[in-house]
Amino acid sequence: MGHRALTGWMKVVHRLIILGVVLAVVVPFYWMAVMSVTPQRYVAGRTIPTMVPREPSLVAYAQIFGLAEVPGATGRSAAQMYRRSLLNSIVVAASATFLALVFGTAAAYALARLNFPGKNAAYVLILGSRLLAQITLAVPMFIIFHRMGILDTYLPLIIMNTSFCMAWVTLIMKNYFDMIDSEMEDAARIDGCSRLGAFWRVLLPMATPGLISVMLISFLFAWGEFLYALLFTSTAAARTMPVVLSMFLGQFAIEYRLLAAGLVIGVLPPVLLALMFQRFIISGLTQGGVKG
């Protein structure tokens, strides 16, 4: 309602609301940052942990990346586990995003532009798959992956993340393709381009903003996926970053600043992506949401 400028106390209330929003988002990150650079004794066991950095150092970050010695065996193995889990998370999220994008975009093109037997059934199935809670699928998938002998590897995580993101990609990209007029593709085909050529050289370049948004949304999902990573892994070999951090929480021997540094590193990619690509993410989300 920016039609009449706010005046008097309305303006004050408005600025207070904005200030409240900014503080609510920023303050937790500030606390986390302070925790990650402050030695344990200023935080642990204190009713009022220090609100400003005391004796700040980046040693926890160095420890987590193996550049500095971690005191204590638990701390050492924790840092090691975290390093490995970061690699696991990157592998799982990157593979799932890539596969979801390839499968989902192909399916979206088929749904938007082509006629083939079973088209409606396939569409309903993809829509319906989004109705299943992760926990609903956990037991059967656990049994299936166990029979296949691939528990505690990247495969179950990549498969489940791909499946979930792919449904999203298909639905959002189908909407996106539907909005693009097929005139240009038709013209390209008259010029002798094959169907696939028209898809690859004409439609996809026009749909780049949509592709970026589904890519980001897929990556963010796979980066933070927790339940399957928890259930389908049992050793450091495949455990992802969120699972390892959740294990830090219960172990008192681990310094808070190690946990906090791990959290900061874990949230950094999503935060940066959100700030840099907010337009793409918002358009992807509101499209997927508002248009069903």
Q: Which is nearer to another protein, 77 or 194 (CB)?
A: 194
Burial (CB count within 10 angstroms: exposed 0-12, middle 13-18, buried 19+), residue 96: buried
User: According to the binding rule CB under 8 A, does residue 194 interact with another protein?
Assistant: yes
* Distance between start and end Cα atoms, the chain: 27
Q: Contact with another protein (CB under 8 A): which of 12, 26, 187, 237?
A: 26
Please state the closest distance from residue 23 (CB atom) to another protein, in A. 10
Comparing CA positions, the residue from 171, 174, 144, 139 lying closest to residue 159 is 144
**Cα(243)–Cα(224) distance, integer angstroms:** 9
Is the Cβ of residue 69 or residue 260 nearer to another protein in the bound state?
260
Q: What is the CA radius of gyration of the chain?
A: 24
Binding to another protein (CB under 8 A) within 57-96 occurs at none
**Quick one: which of 12, 226, 237, 253 contacts another protein (CB under 8 A)?**
226
Nearer to another protein, 51 or 67 (CB): 51
Choose among 157, 209, 214, 221: nearest CA to 180. Answer: 209
Q: How much of the chain is in helix, strand and coil states, percent to nearest 5?
A: 75, 0, 25
Minimum Å distance from CB 58 to another protein? 19
Q: Return left, alpha or beta for 202; rule: phi > 0 is left, psi -120 to 50 is alpha, else beta.
A: alpha
Separation of alpha carbons 53 and 37, rounded Å: 7
Q: Is position 214 an interface residue for another protein (rule: CB under 8 A)?
A: no
Minimum distance, C-beta of residue 74 to another protein, in the bound complex (Å): 18
Per CB under 8 A, the list member of 1, 73, 147, 252 interacting with another protein is 1
Q: Judged by CB under 8 A, which of 90, 155, 184, 230 binds another protein?
A: 230
Which CA distances in Å does 57 have to 34, 40, 136, 245? 10, 12, 45, 21
Q: Is 52 in the site for another protein (CB under 8 A)?
A: no
Instruction: Specify the stretch interacting with another protein by CB under 8 A; choose among 61-69, 112-120, 175-183, 207-215.
Output: 112-120
At its nearest, how many Å lie between another protein and the CB of residue 103?
4
Is residue 209 near another protein by the rule CB under 8 A? Answer: no
Size of the site for another protein (CB under 8 A): 106
Work out which of 37, 78, 254, 263 binds another protein, going by CB under 8 A. Answer: 263
227 forms part of the interface with another protein (CB under 8 A): yes
Q: Which of 12, 17, 87, 187 binds another protein (CB under 8 A)?
A: 17
DSSP 62-114: HHHTTSSPPSSHHHHHHHHHHHHHHHHHHHHHHHHHHHHHHHHHHHHHHHHH-
Other beta carbons within 10 Å of 80: 14
270-289 residues near another protein, rule: CB under 8 A: 270-271, 273-275, 278, 281-282, 285-286, 289
Give the C-alpha separation, 40 to 44, whole Å.
Answer: 6
**What part of residues 121-160 is at the interface with another protein (CB under 8 A)?**
122, 125-126, 128-129, 131-141, 143-144, 159-160
